[in-house]
Amino acid sequence: MKHIELYDTTLRDGSQAEGISFSLRDKCQLAEHLAKLGFDFVEGGYPASNDKDHDFFRRMANHPFPETGTKICAFGMTRRKGVSASEDSGLAALLDSKAQVITMVGKSSRFQVEDILRCSLDENLAMIAESTAFLRDAGREVIFDAEHAFDGFRCDPKYFLECLKTAETAGASRVVLCDTNGGTLPGEIYEIVQKVVSEMNIPVGIHCHNDCDLAVANSLAAVDAGATQVQGCINGFGERCGNANLISIAANLALKKGLDVLAPGAVQSLTDLSRYVYEMVNLNAPVNQPFVGKSAFAHKGGMHVSAVNRDSRSYEHIDPAEVGNERRILVSELSGRSNIVAMAKKHHIENDPQLLERILEDVVARESMGYSYEAADGSFDLLVKKCSGSIRSHFDVIKYHVNMTGRNKGDESRIYTEAIVKLVVNGETLYEVADGDGPVNALDSALRKALVHRFPSLKKLQLTDYKVRVINSEAGTAAGVRVIIESKDETETWGTVGVSENVVEASWIALTDSFEYKLFKDEEEKKNAG
């Protein structure tokens, strides 16, 4: 089976995206994580640019990954014009990094050399040759990244190929063609890569940017044309519109083209890897991200769900488990009986048509009120229990109250929020008061004070997201609102929903559903374990 090298540049090129920053600890942890999965190369950064990247290479020095053979790479540029390689501070920093692989970017476009770099064509060739040889003589492997490669080919193909040949002659182990501006189409990528592969005696790689939303397609076209290395970033992070998404590339190469990538079994970890990196940079994962998104294998239309229940191949291009994802059945006003059956399988009600009809009627009626269960699987689970009569609430709410007081102290204006809850648990009346940063936080705190010592597992319940959506905006300030709360514990994440014309009441409904779901979940897990 042919092996395609995956070269990850998340820690360098990916960190150039707006809103993304990696701490030194993050960089080390992600490099080790990628190495365990078998990425062939992990680019750690540009050691001449900042102390953090310099420290990263210090920590990673003499830290091999013999299990997968992953190589840590340092990134830099050819020597500056008019400066010898031995006196160039950037090349010195690359050697000082102790990285055994140096990825060196250089100009391969006549326009870039003459108009941007403003040096002669011969000087640029000398910069490539001398820099490559200098690093090779120091015992380092050199990968030459040809910047603006495709623009350079269009501008002057002869000079472009001369740049690549110069790197090869000087000792580069690979040349990588960079679609730096992200403006090339797949057909042209294929033709140019095929031409370059036929001219070179060393492996050819591809590095695509996503400005035309084609970075993954362009990378796959390059592989079809003979490229044996693909550079990119996890989740497509990167400057402007991002880089080629290595998650999608790895899945396509392995599952669609039958090529060898990553360590054995690592493709099944792609969903975990994608979400791990989003969590690391504190970003919400797009639900519609191919292969690994929460909605990648979600089905809503009743006809689709009915077909998937018969044979998943009817509406799924792969088994979600092949990338570590899972199938989700959504319940909405478009739902049919098949959706309800699929969603409620764990309750074993497939053979109870009357109950299924009650659930469907309840869902449709509640959706007409503004409820939505697509992101509220916890609330849907509780709805099924209520319709089947198998639910007994763990607590009954007598009343709740939120008081917000504005105070001015000098020039400072502060809002103080206090929540009061009165509950009944097993015949005992509980009354608790708590402060909070806003009404939802205060209600959450009061509810916990009342329940945690009776249900200790609630200590592990965390509210991770809170969303408010106006349902009927034409009603102005009297409009109804839908609140979705996302919660998690140590094993699962779930959503709950509440709807009301009062945002506090909608929040309270979603909040109490989250607590109830956690308690029922714990009971079922304990029962199954026993």
Nearest of 112, 113, 130 to residue 169 by alpha carbon: 130
Residue 343 CA to residue 330 CA, distance in Å, equals 8
Rounded to whole angstroms, the maximal C-alpha distance in the chain is 89
Residue 341 CA to residue 320 CA, distance in Å, equals 20
Any idea where the domains of the chain sit in the sequence?
A: 5-280, 298-368, 456-530
Tell me the two tokens of residue 104. Answer: 């060196």
- Extended beta strands in 317-363, E state: 328-329
Q: How far apart are the first and last CA of the chain?
A: 46
> Do 112 and 73 meet the contact criterion of CB atoms below 8 Å apart?
no
DSSP 259: -
Q: Tens digit of pLDDT for each residue in 341-353?
A: 665 565 666 667 7
**How far out from the chain centre does Cα 331 lie?**
25
Q: Is 356 helix (H, G, I), strand (E, B) or coil?
A: helix
Q: Which fold has domain 5-280?
A: TIM Barrel (3.20.20)
Residues in the chain: 530
Q: Tens digit of pLDDT for each residue in 502-523?
A: 999 999 999 999 999 999 999 8
Q: Is the pTM of this model over 0.75?
A: no
Domain boundaries 456-530, corresponding CATH code: 3.30.160.340
In the prediction, which pLDDT does 472 show? Answer: 67
Residue 457 CA to residue 460 CA, distance in Å, equals 6
Q: Is 296 helix (H, G, I), strand (E, B) or coil?
A: coil
Whole-angstrom CA distances from 478 to 232, 268, 372, 474, 497 are 49, 48, 20, 9, 19
What's the mean per-residue pLDDT of the chain? 89
Res 473 pLDDT > 80: no
Q: Is 411 exposed, middle or buried (0-12, 13-18, 19+ CB in 10 A)?
A: exposed
Average pLDDT over residues 249-274: 96
